[in-house]
Amino acid sequence: MSFPFTLLTQPDCGIVSISDCDAKPYPRIQLLPGGDWYDAISMPFNYTVWLVDPKLQTILRKNKCQAFNKNISLPDSPSISFKILQIHTSDFYRCNSTSSTPKNNEHFSGYKMYNGCKGFSIYYKLPGGDDEDVQAGNLTTNCSLLQLPIRPTLDGNFFTPGFLVEWKLSDDCNKCHYDGGQCRTDTTNKFYCQKDAATTRRSMVGLVLGTVFGGVGLLMITCLAVSFIWCYKERKFSPFRYLSAKKFSDIFKHDVEGGSKYFGVPVFSYSELEEATNDFKSSRVLGDGGFGTVYYGKLKDGREVAVKRLYEHNSKQMQQFVNEIEILTRLRHTNLVTLYGCTSRRSRELILVYEYIPNGTLADHLHGDRAKNRSLTWPVRLNIAIETAGALAHLHASDIIHCDVKTNNILLDQNFSVKIADFGISRLFPNDVSHISTAPRGTPGYIDPKYHECYQLTIKSDVYSFGVVLVELISSMPAVDMKRHNEEINLANFAINKIVKCAFNELIDPSLGFDSDTKIWEMTSSVAELAFLCLQTDRDMRPTMAEVLDTLKEIQTSEFDNEKRAKLLLNQVKSQPSPNSVTDEWITCSSTIVANTK
């Protein structure tokens, strides 16, 4: 990489100054002339650089409240702009201690409060949202907004002096540079292109051809040398560490042979994956993931793989890329898809490589192209429900919300064993908070209505989505069908209307044989009732995934008897904060089922 970086002693070669490429432990960068200096740790992706603020680092090491006197902000100019990627920052509200503190507490409802500093309190939310997170609204007069860098994980102290910065050249500067000019800013902070550098650029071309034109050419050689040294040093940078009162794990670990591992997973070259997918041939497309197209591929070692290719290279997609790598490498479960690796941070595209699951998605088999094969008998479907519930319960126990549970993200192998995929929008969820505030994301038909209404994400949001999956398993119907009546376009609404009326025959797929097999009827109707609980609008009335898993296992072994069914009904009644006609109607229906099975 060369422009916009340059040595401090060669300002005409670029915009962003580097103090000394041989500086220890790291080179220092000044984003714009006259601005602060930062330690440059590494360049993980195109147009990004890891920076450490040495002043903030000193403050955090001493654990001083002065950290809340500092507000991270980056310079801007008509030539180049800088942006701290949102996944690495969080908003903090500093409010002076006054008689209006109770009013502040009310204003920042849902926020955590820290009052360990003299003279002011801090209101904040733990990391886990995105750039569409709900803000606290208009600030009160004694409060100010601070932005400080945070760790993207939640263990230990989440403050850090390091953050990932993305830079972007303005269109004017980009054109000026490639026309041989130099990007300049006048006294009124307006851009202009200094064209007298054109001769310098022509000299650089001459150098490439082997012709030396004296002093101007020597200047360009120096610029190229700076670029080479920078790139070389960037490759040999030590791993970035999040620094606070203690040291944290490396994000990127370099092996002794010069190869790299990101979050502990192997790195594939772009050309290797291009060859594995036959130049990303359209006939190799398996489907679309959360943020990219998935291709079938075969590596040189014979492994079959699913290759997810990013739609475009921008900060938003990069966040999802990093998010999926981090989550999949911290988890190990037989029913979660395995991540084999990814492309390098220097690759022309960001690509994830997974194990290949050959039997399509659950959606394919329920109401897609593979449905005509009728491979999913009731025992197979119930086992799929149990394995999916087990994987989700494991995620929740690990403080992770999937956020996009749906039959298209449930892959099936040749034995119809489950592999849950697509963690691009998953969220870390600390167990000491009630919810994460973030704008709704997910798939229509599966999104928790409370999440959509209140912008509050919890583990019960996954439970709701899984309730829709349960209904799909017993009905073979899609989550959204525009052919259904307006109020029943969403399968969740359709199912609730049928379940409360005990109209199971209008909901359950007749091909499962429930009308001729009493045992199947009992199991499918019990799963329908469980789905009803998962689909409750009131989150407190929904079971946890661990409870869902236990109930499904009891249904499978015929242990979900009348006593347990009655207990489930009793818990349902006790959990109701107020009478609900729809729920009461279901309880009446379920009581009838209990009576009829005695």
d(CA 315, CA 321): 10
Instruction: Please name every residue paired with 76 in a beta bridge, in sequence order, or none if there are none.
Output: 81
CA-CA-CA-CA dihedral for 492, 497, 501, 506, to nearest 10: -70
Q: How many CA atoms lie within 13 A of 256 on its CB side?
A: 0
Residue type, 444: P
Vertex 263 angle, CA 257 and 269, to 5°? 55
Q: Which of 404, 422, 462, 509 is catalytic?
A: 404
d(CA 574, CA 53): 54
d(CA 218, CA 229): 16
- In sequence order, which residues have a C-beta less than 8 Å from that of residue 557 and are 6 or more positions away? none
- In sequence order, which residues have a C-beta less than 8 Å from that of residue 409 and are 6 or more positions away? 361, 402, 420, 421, 422
Is 19 in a helix, a strand, or coil? Answer: coil
Give the tokens for residue 38. 């930062």
For 152, 266, 507, 531, 590, the CA distances from 499, given in Å and listed in that order, are 42, 49, 8, 9, 9
d(CA 595, CA 562): 9
- In sequence order, which residues have a C-beta less than 8 Å from that of residue 567 and are 6 or more positions away? none
d(CA 419, CA 337): 5
Decide: 226 and 10 in contact? Cβ < 8 Å.
Answer: yes
d(CA 86, CA 291): 18
Give the tokens for residue 217. 């050419």
d(CA 457, CA 469): 19
Radius of gyration of the chain (CA): 29
Is residue 404 flagged as an active site residue?
A: yes
Q: In what order do the strands lie in the sheet with 304-310?
A: 252-254, 260-262, 265-268, 339-343, 351-355, 304-310, 292-298, 285-288
Tell whether residue 308 is among the known ligand binding residues: yes
The Cβ of residue 504 has, within 10 Å, a number of other Cβ atoms equal to: 18
**DSSP state letter for 22:** T
Give the tokens for residue 93. 């509200």
Closest by CA to 429, choosing from 458, 388, 466, is 458
d(CA 551, CA 557): 10
Decide: 413 and 566 in contact? Cβ < 8 Å.
Answer: no
Return binding residues.
Answer: 308
The catalytic residues are 404
Return binding residues for ATP.
Answer: 308
